[in-house]
């Protein structure tokens, strides 16, 4: 039997082991064995012709990341992969959003970012001007595109209100 045929058989056997590894929970042991068998196939290809061996080695090195990512994508849909990987069971809960005009109290010092409490809602906020100490009353003046509230210090010391300010 010629060396290139033996090399091709080793490479095909390695590919078959990779497919088996997708469905058998071996912890990657079968995949490591497949890699070793593929290297033996590359060695036989080098024994047949150095340029052919170099070509097969380069192909394996360049295609292995694509093969790995494809394996992971397929594996997650297999029965074993479904048991191991996490999937969302319930849709995310929609929370009340901060609105312009709401007043609240800072939970942390705003330098210029921090957190403020608006009733039962705690949100990330950014100070409009300078730093604001912890425990100060602030009012939302605008919202950034990513949903962070821009606040300014208010002079009032009344309790926290969720109603938008009028005026």
Confidence of residue 94 (pLDDT cuts 50, 70, 90): low
Q: How far is 123 from 114, CA to CA, in rounded Å?
A: 9
The whole-angstrom separation of Cα 149 and Cα 140 is 6
pTM of the complete model beyond 0.75: no
Q: What's the pLDDT tens digit per position in 113-127?
A: 899 998 888 888 999
Instruction: Quick: pLDDT tens for 4-17.
Output: 899 999 999 999 99
In the chain, where are the structural domains located? 3-84, 103-153
Residues 76, 91: Cα–Cα separation, whole Å: 20
Residue 67 half-sphere exposure toward CB, CA atoms < 13 A: 16
- Which single residue is written with the structure tokens 């957190």? 115
**Cβ–Cβ contacts within 10 Å for residue 30, how many?**
18
103-153 folds as OB fold (Dihydrolipoamide Acetyltransferase, E2P) (2.40.50)
Burial code (b: 16+ CB inside 10 Å, e: under 16) for 41-66 equals: bbebbbebeeebbeebbeebeeeeee
Chain center to CA of 36: 31
Residue 22, φ and ψ in degrees, nearest 5: -65, -35
- Say if residues 110 and 125 touch (Cβ distance below 8 Å): yes
């Amino acid at each position: 039997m010629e060396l290139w045929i033996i090399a091709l058989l080793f490479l095909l056997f390695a590919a078959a082991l990779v497919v088996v590894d997708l469905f058998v929970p071996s912890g990657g042991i079968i995949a490591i064995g497949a890699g070793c068998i593929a290297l033996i196939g590359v060695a036989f290809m080098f024994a047949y012709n150095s340029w052919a061996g170099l070509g097969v080695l380069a192909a394996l090195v360049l295609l292995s990341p694509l093969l790995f990512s494809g394996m992971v994508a397929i594996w997650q849909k297999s029965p074993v992969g479904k048991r191991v990987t996490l999937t969302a069971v319930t849709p995310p809960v929609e929370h009340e959003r901060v609105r312009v005009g709401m007043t609240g109290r800072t939970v942390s010092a705003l330098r210029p970012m921090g957190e403020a409490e608006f009733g039962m809602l705690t949100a990330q906020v950014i100070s409009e001007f300078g730093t604001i100490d912890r425990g100060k009353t602030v009012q939302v003046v605008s919202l950034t595109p990513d949903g962070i509230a821009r606040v300014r210090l208010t002079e009032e010391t009344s309790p926290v209100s969720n109603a938008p300010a009028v005026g």
